[in-house]
Amino acid sequence: MIVLDKLRPLPIPRHCLLYNLGCVPYETAWAWQRSLLAARLAHPDLEDLLILLEHPPVYTLGTGSSLAHLKFQREESNYSLFRTERGGEVTYHCPGQLVGYPILNLQSYRPDLHWYLRQLEAVLIETLAHYGLRGERIPGLTGVWVEGVKVAAIGIKVKRWITIHGFALNVCPDLAGFREIVPCGIGDRPVGSLAQFIPEITVAAVRVQVAQAFGQVFGCQIQPQGGTIPIP
């Protein structure tokens, strides 16, 4: 007869500190991420973080992005343009778009980039499901769509399995800035927002759902933090 060890402790979920911030300049948040990455490269046992925020209007390019996807002259733009170390093509950030920057050590989850991208998509799909929206993936592309409209983009950087950059979910932004680019290099599919389907939706409400979905999908314990991020 096999006797089960009922006293064996269940695995303890990994903690993930949640920082809910307001509208932060892109270059400030980018500097935070690089500092947090450097600290975790030196000390891989540091805690994970999920940073949720918005940005003032700004365009960002992935490390290999083509300038052909810009519909304006860089020197004539009213908004800043940054080339970053993330993957993916050009995108646009502005208020009303919820941006998430997970700083995770994938060695504690699963050291697999494709798995991580699909997990981030799953977080967003779970968030949309809370509002009765069906989030969809498109084979060969990264991101989340609703009824053929792209509502979320993902671009990441991983170094020694520590993640930076992340996802951007269009909740209720002014989408005019997207007309000045070929978003994510995809010219034949429209970009939209959740407000097209749920006019009364707010970023504040969606923040809560994204954090909950993140904890569920990654199997981690979300711990909301007050104040600002302790930058090393």
The DSSP code for 143 is S
pLDDT-above-90 percentage for the chain: 79
- Distance between CA 15 and CA 217 in Å, rounded? 13
Return the structure tokens found at 173. 């932004």
Q: Quick: pLDDT tens for 37-48.
A: 999 999 999 999
Residue 1 pLDDT greater than 50, yes or no: no
Average pLDDT over residues 182-191: 87
Cβ distance 168 to 145 under 8 Å? no
Cβ distance 98 to 55 under 8 Å? no
First to last CA, the chain: 55
Residue 167, pLDDT score: 98
Residue 2 pLDDT greater than 50, yes or no: no
Residue 181, pLDDT score: 86
Residue 26 pLDDT greater than 50, yes or no: yes
Average pLDDT over residues 76-91: 89
Of 16, 172, 184, 220, which one is the catalytic site residue? Answer: 184
| 35 vs 6 pLDDT, higher one | 35
- Distance between CA 207 and CA 42 in Å, rounded? 30
Cβ distance 157 to 85 under 8 Å? yes
Burial of 205 (0-12, 13-18, 19+ CB in 10 A): middle
Residue 183, pLDDT score: 85
Quickly count: other Cβ atoms within 10 Å of residue 127's Cβ: 27
pLDDT-above-70 percentage for the chain: 95
Annotation says 220 is catalytic: no
Q: How much is the pTM? A: 0.93
Residue 6, pLDDT score: 54
Q: Quick: pLDDT tens for 128-144.
A: 999 999 999 999 999 99
How sure is the predictor about 11, in pLDDT bands with cuts at 50, 70 and 90? Answer: low
> Is the CATH number of domain 14-225 3.30.930.10?
yes
